[in-house]
Structure 1
């Protein structure tokens, strides 16, 4: 039982960045979902409304990000001024984020073909978790609700065996992929350790229409897959679930190849 893949999403909803190792912070993996695209009113934008957002790629660096997308020039985006704030919302959270320079807004607006702004979450920006599975003091990045998402490789294999056209693990946007366990074994875990880092397995991840967006094309699947098939065998009282949300309970590095230990 081991960690087979590690993914970051430097900006919420964009293309994944596969890495060999990552530092686990209280909010999740370092550089994961610390940036977000918002509309003119500060409301978060995702691939649910804008599938083209999944075609944007970002490379984190010491000075900020480098953005790339089909048909667009590369753009260097510096970390915003730590004194500037812009009120933004992500689901029910209200966050005083840091606004990026106007050039980043213009670049994203041109590619997405609608007004958009880019904001950043630095160490001085806080988003407190309010989920019943969290503990006092728990924080989260611009991720939907939890710091990390884990899926077993066998869960995807089981889904693909039911589909006419197999889909990539990236339809589900995990941070951690675990190999060497039966399909959906993660549903029964409460606490795990990967390498030397401990995590609470908080709750199943409820899936939505975002799973129907093909990240290679930036378009929705016209057949509504794989959500249509998942409804047939992964539906529960909580909705359609696939994967588990995690909350870190210690810090440190995780690396591809690390063993996964069930603590409880």
Structure 2
């Protein structure tokens, strides 16, 4: 038995981890995730990756969300865009000045994964609409939650419907198969300012009160394949 739960409305890829991403119409997906997603990161001298939080693996580096990254000429090296949207000639040199640190560099993924958790994050419009209603007056869109896929769900779909998918496989389009395992535990990064989204502590607070600070569906790739906007998501 199958169930069409929605369609792909937007695809996001983040070439340099913790920076703003790029919108795509289509992309290939392998067992690691979207091709090139978070393949690079801002790394310091201790080997920690730039993020919105401090942990064993991550170093808080405020300001990264005001930058963007994209692939302009293949995936050998991403472009870094400054807050005005202008590509900088030397990403590492720019970041050292921008962050006020001389020990950071843009580094390609090695033996340590750049992903916080699993390779694919999926968010539904039903859940996103709920967040908007929970924090009236605060601008909210999917960029606060940094999903790879925003799925347009049918009218009447309840918020946090992603929870129902855990433990299930799904076909996305004609060839890509994924398995949903769990949700992301959200951190202060959801509150941070980026581009035209102001900082607000209300976002994380609302999710914490209603859903134990968890939001989205995380998946692993079972069968790699292409992905494009408009693809149906069919739960098996």
TM-score when normalising by structure 1: 0.76
**Number of the residue aligned with 1:55:** 66
- Structure 2 unaligned spans of 5+: 1-5, 54-59
Distance verdict in 2 for CA 1:15–1:72, change over 3 Å = closer
Paired position in structure 2 for 1:75? 88
- The count of aligned residue pairs is 215
Taking the aligned partners of 2:148 and 2:142, their CA distance within structure 1 comes to: 11
List runs of 5+ in structure 1 lacking aligned partners: 77-102, 128-140
**Alignment-derived partner of residue 111 in structure 1:** 98
* Residues 171-206 of structure 1: CA deviation (Å, up to 9, x unaligned): 000001111242222211121110121111011111
Please tell me whether residue 25 in structure 1 is matched to residue 30 in structure 2: yes
Report whether the alignment pairs 1:168 with 2:141.
yes
| Conserved 8 A contact 1:51-1:220 | no
| Corresponding residue number in structure 2 for 1:194 | 172
Q: Which residue of 181, 202, 210 maps to 1:225?
A: 202
- Contact 1:53–1:218, Cα closer than 8 Å, also in 2: no
Residues 1:262 and 2:235 are matched in the alignment: yes
Correspondence 1:1-264 to 2 at 5 A: 1-48=6-53, 49-60=60-71, 61-62=73-74, 63-70=76-83, 74-76=87-89, 103-115=90-102, 116-121=104-109, 125-127=110-112, 141-164=113-136, 165-181=138-154, 182=157, 183-189=159-165, 190-195=168-173, 196-216=175-195, 220-221=199-200, 224-235=201-212, 240-263=213-236
CA contact (8 A) 2:21 2:70 kept: no
Contact 2:124–2:216 under 8 Å retained in 1:
yes
SS at match of 1:154: helix
CA distance in 2, matches of 1:162, 1:261: 29
For the aligned residue pairs, the C-alpha RMSD in angstroms reads 1.9
Residues in 2 aligned to 1:259 and 1:45: alpha-carbon distance in whole angstroms: 34
